[in-house]
Amino acid sequence: MPKYPMIDTHTHFDAPTFDHDRLVQAQKAYQRGVRHLVLVGYLQTHFERLYTCQQALSATPLQDVSDNKEQVPKAHIALGLHPFYIDQHTKAHLSDMECRLNAKRPLAIGEIGLDTYTDAMKAPDMFAKQKQFFKAQLDMAVAHQLPVMLHIRKAHAEALAILKAHSYDAHKLGGIAHSFSGGEQEAKAFVKLGFRLGVTGQVSNPNAKKLRRAIVAAVETYGTRCLVIETDCPDMLPIMCQQAQEDLPASGQSPDDEWQGVSAHNRNVPANLPWVLLSLSELLDVTPEVLAQQLWQNSCMALKTSWTYPTNESL
Ligand SMILES: [Zn+2]
């Protein structure tokens, strides 16, 4: 597979399902072109895990630069309280986040937003709490001038209404609508507000017609500058990897609550990011070379960074 420099803008690479082979997986990702990855927060009780994971990856030996085998992507942290776990969040968690933001500036705030996937989450009190936490974290993003990573599921209209009324300006601060799942109009509405759409391995599924149409429609209006890519690992395994990995033994199953269903053979990894790039390249009929460079630039704009695009020599 040819190699292109990439940024994995959304991962849960700190999840326990990677504890037994995180370093190997990080090296594999680097070998396939992944140069930066973002560890995205979702529960206050797991914030420390993000720092532990980041430290473990930065402690990797880099003595022999000519030998890429030892190298791993640079890991960055986003801190946020995820709407899906709204029943577990407390005011104290928001205060803890505020303290952490003051102590050490993360790359971004996330993932935050609204999610009414289950009936329980549609309950008025739960949804009201989601909105309250979403707005409080948008306030923090404005106060600290940080980009946000949005998680919006089955609540696009409500999320757009909040964003339009809020002083958070994505044109200025950046931001990503992670694992975008809405329709054409919603895709364009988020881009119009200044967000970039996060594309996962779902784009590789020919049956994901609504998603593929939404991406194409947004690109027709705004160009490929409105997109970034992500694995969202250990979720969102690209379809080609589902088949390729079927024969592997199911070792390393996560004991953690949120990824109980993710066994080793359907676990997504950062090294699968090239599949997202290639599927998107095919869908949009843009060469992977051109697209990779554009996506790199888009990620830097969305995350307000200026990471240098590696040249072919350093790949
Ligand atoms: Zn996520």
The mean per-residue pLDDT over the stretch 157-164 comes to: 97
Name the token pair of 177. 């609508």
Residue-level pLDDT at 84? 95
Q: What separation in Å is there between the alpha carbon of 63 and the centre of ligand 1?
A: 33
Any idea which of 104-108, 198-202, 248-252 has the lowest mean pLDDT? 248-252
For 250, phi and psi rounded to 5 degrees?
Answer: -90, 60
Q: What is the average pLDDT score of the chain?
A: 91
Q: What separation in Å is there between the alpha carbon of 220 and the centre of ligand 1?
A: 27
Identify the band that residue 276 occupies on the pLDDT scale cut at 50, 70 and 90. Answer: very high
Give the rounded percent of residues in the chain with a pLDDT score beyond 90: 83
Q: What separation in Å is there between the alpha carbon of 185 and the centre of ligand 1?
A: 23
Q: What separation in Å is there between the alpha carbon of 112 and the centre of ligand 1?
A: 10
Q: What separation in Å is there between the alpha carbon of 265 and the centre of ligand 1?
A: 19
Q: What separation in Å is there between the alpha carbon of 141 and the centre of ligand 1?
A: 18
- Residue 259, pLDDT > 70, answer no
Cβ-contact 272, 30 below 8 angstroms: no
Q: What separation in Å is there between the alpha carbon of 147 and the centre of ligand 1?
A: 15
Q: What separation in Å is there between the alpha carbon of 294 and the centre of ligand 1?
A: 23
Cβ-contact 256, 16 below 8 angstroms: yes
- Residue 28, pLDDT > 80, answer yes
* Domains, the chain, with CATH or none: 6-308 (3.20.20.140)
Q: What is the pTM of this model?
A: 0.91
Region label for 33, one of left (φ > 0), alpha (ψ between -120 and 50) or beta (otherwise) = left
The type of residue at 201 is G
Q: What separation in Å is there between the alpha carbon of 297 and the centre of ligand 1?
A: 22
